[in-house]
Amino acid sequence: MIAANALGFRHPGQSAWLFRDLDFHLERGQTLALLGRNGRGKTTLLKCLAGLLTPVEGTIARDGAVGYVPQAFASPFPYSVFDVVLMGRARHVGLFSTPTAEDRARAREAIAEIGLDAFADRRIDTLSGGERQLALIARALAAQAEILLLDEPASALDFRNQAKLLALLRTLSRERGLTILMTTHDPTHALEIADRAVLLHGGGHAEEGAVADMCAEDRLTALYGLEMRRLEFDAGGRSAAGILPHYGAGYPRL
Amino acid sequence: MTRQGAVFAGLAVLLLAAMTTALSAGRYAIAPGDVLTLASGWIGIGPGRAGVAEPVWRVVELVRVPRMLIGGFVGAGLALSGAILQGVFRNPLVDPHVIGVSSGAAFGGVLAILLGLGAAVLWSMAFAFGLFAVVLVIGLSRRAGQSSILMLVLSGVVVAALFAALVSLATYFADPNSTLPAIVFWLMGSFASATPERAWRMIPILTACAVPLLLMRFRINILSLGDEEARGLGLRVERTRWLALACVTGITAASVANSGIVGWVGLVVPHFARALVGPDHRVLLPAAALLGASYMLLVDTLARSVIAAEIPLGVLTAIIGAPVFMLLLRRSHGDESWRT
């Protein structure tokens, strides 16, 4: 469970709120998507929820360990995938100790769960963007996180890898009962796996609701300042939905 | 044996060889057999002192053993400090000089020489000013209770520049016939002042600072991810970083206080160790310490045996270190062992 109550944030020394009076409540196994234009506070909200930033107003309640998955692995050191995942155990390793056999076993389990076995000994800088993203998720799993916070997990991936990632996240929430919050620039992703969505309109205006309502055409059009269309189509007998921008409707003025 | 085990066995053999060389080579050459006889005597095997000529055991026990111990510990400490700082600051060009401690310690030592104070006072002043410089760096880098890596490095550069200017000023006022040469030679670095008493003062300080660093080696991995990721993994970043910096400061201040500025060891040795065992600090830190000790012993042995006078240590470490570093960088270029 993770819940926000009247959450508000603005940067120190600035009068404009990024978001304000934001409430939501996510149960175990639910998924929430954070949508909004660049600079409207998606990552900031995620960091507040991860405890990396302190909200200016409001409170956050969580009943489980939080695993923050950054957009990219930023260390200049070419650690092996196994070493990276093992670092997820930091919380469980004392200041003057090193990981135990149990820590290593948990790291191996997490790697196996994500299906990265074959890559365990590879240097992380030799992996593709999609595989690196998976390694970071494995690290959060090794940390025994029950709430996953992902910062644009799919933004650097091709369509096929996006599908794999979404399938993995769906499995983690449905079968493992993980609570998942992710920022994304693709409303289709929200529609695909999320139960709820938060729209950050900027200027302190934020709304939260069921994903179908939040991804209504008029709402998204207002959110992005661009004509957005929802398309329903038949994909092998199963009805699917996608959301596309109508770029040609008039490019925004530069 | 794993590759890692083989590397560590190799490093241990290298260190033993460096120690034997440090005890036997020099202007007064001593047969390695005599060194062995003496060394087994220390652990109660064989005749020990009785098995060698008197000048031999006097030179070995009173001059070379203290010098070997100090050199080995300083080399290990500086290499360890460099590896820690490169990890914590996530920057391959960082060494113990960057946080200002060397320049502060250098100024303390130079001031003591200028004022004509004794060796013990020089040591204390160098150590105290080294600590003071780091406190200054930390004070400058903190803003609203937080301090970023960038601010730390910038403050370090500023404080180092300030103390370098003060060293120049003190040198300018020094008497060219007496204190000036003393200052210049002290700054260039040497282990020539080694005595058993000094060894007993240095070793506990260096050990007390190095042991926590070696123990927290897994935390250094986490710190090397950057503040935010480390915090996201549940680490108290600032506390851990200050502890690491405090230990590094102790090692560097003690080293400069004892033997002047010996550059390049803290920069080159960690790179070399990384090429041998990889970036994981759990194995990198012990490897860097072993390699640093061997490197320092070999360089110091060269410094005191190549020509009749001693070559200043700092000069030699730079002459050897700079080209080796260049080679390492060129070799690792295609390898991208640093993704900067």
Positive or negative CA dihedral for A208, A213, A217, A219? negative
Nearest Cα neighbor of A73 from A150, A116, A132 is A132
B220: closest chain A residue by CA: A95
| Domain locations in chain A as residue ranges | 2-226
Contact A91 B233 (CB under 8 A): yes
If one counts every other C-beta atom within 10 angstroms of the C-beta of residue B2, the result is: 7
Q: Which of B58, B60, B56, B38 is nearest to B47 (CA)?
A: B38
Point out which residues pair with A19 in neighbouring strands.
Answer: A9, A204
CB A232 within 8 A of CB A246: no
Res B146: pLDDT: 62
Q: Give the structural domain span for B267.
A: 66-333
**B34: in domain:** no
Region of A36 (left: φ > 0; alpha: ψ -120 to 50; beta: rest) is: left
Q: Nearest to residue B322, comparing CAs of B334, B332, B314?
A: B314
User: Tell me: the pLDDT tens digits for B143-192?
Assistant: 755 667 778 888 888 999 999 999 999 999 998 988 899 898 888 888 98
Mean residue pLDDT of chain B comes to 89
- The answer to the question of residue B58 being in a domain is no
Proportion of chain A above pLDDT 90, given as a percent: 82
Asked if residue B197 belongs to a domain, the reply is yes
Question: CB contact, 8 Å: A1 with chain B?
Answer: no
| Poorest-pLDDT segment among A178-182, A246-250, B259-263, B266-270 | A246-250
| Structural domains of chain B, count | 1
CB B149 within 8 A of CB B89: yes
Contacts of B228 in chain A (CB under 8 A): 47, 52, 70
| Residues A143, B234: C-beta atoms closer than 8 Å | yes
* pLDDT score, position B339: 44
Residue B53 lies in a domain: no
Q: Is the C-alpha dihedral spanning B99, B104, B109, B110 positive or negative?
A: positive
Which two tokens mark A41? 């506070």
Q: Could you report the per-residue pLDDT of A113-156, keeping only the tens digit for each?
A: 999 999 999 999 999 888 999 999 999 999 999 999 999 999 88
Mapped onto helix, strand or coil, the DSSP state of residue A18 is coil
Q: Is the CATH number 3.40.50.300 carried by domain A2-226?
A: yes
Query: What pLDDT does residue A7 have?
Result: 96
On whether any CB of chain B is under 8 Å from the CB of A96, the answer is yes
Which token pair is A56? Answer: 């200016």
Tell me: the pLDDT tens digits for B18-63? 999 999 998 889 999 999 999 999 998 888 888 899 999 999 999 9
**Which of B340, B114, B146 lies closest to B242, judged by CA?**
B146
pLDDT category, A254, cuts 50, 70, 90? Answer: low
Region B9-16 average pLDDT: 97
More confident site: B143 or A83: A83
Q: Is the pLDDT of residue B135 over 90?
A: no
What was the ipTM of the complex prediction?
0.89
- Which residue from B319, B223, B303, B327 is spatially nearest to B265, judged by alpha carbons? B319
Tell if the CB–CB gap between A76 and B340 is shorter than 8 Å. yes
Q: Is the pLDDT of residue B205 over 50?
A: yes
Helix (H) or strand (E) holding A202: strand A196-202
pLDDT of residue B152: 81
* Cα angle, residue B174 at apex, residues B171 and B175 outer, rounded to 5°: 145
Residues from chain A that touch B218, judged by Cβ atoms under 8 A, are 90, 93, 97-99
CATH code for the domain of B102:
1.10.3470.10
Tokens 């978001």 belong to: A19
Question: Taking Cα atoms as reference points, which of B222, B71, B72 lies closest to residue A142?
Answer: B222
CA B149 vs CA B15, B94, B284: distances in Å: 34, 12, 22
Is B78 among the domain residues? yes
Indicate the average pLDDT of chain A: 93
The predicted structure's pLDDT at residue B90? 84
- Region B265-277: mean pLDDT is 92
Task: Name the one residue in this structure whose structure tokens are 């991860």.
Answer: A50
Average pLDDT over residues B121-139: 88
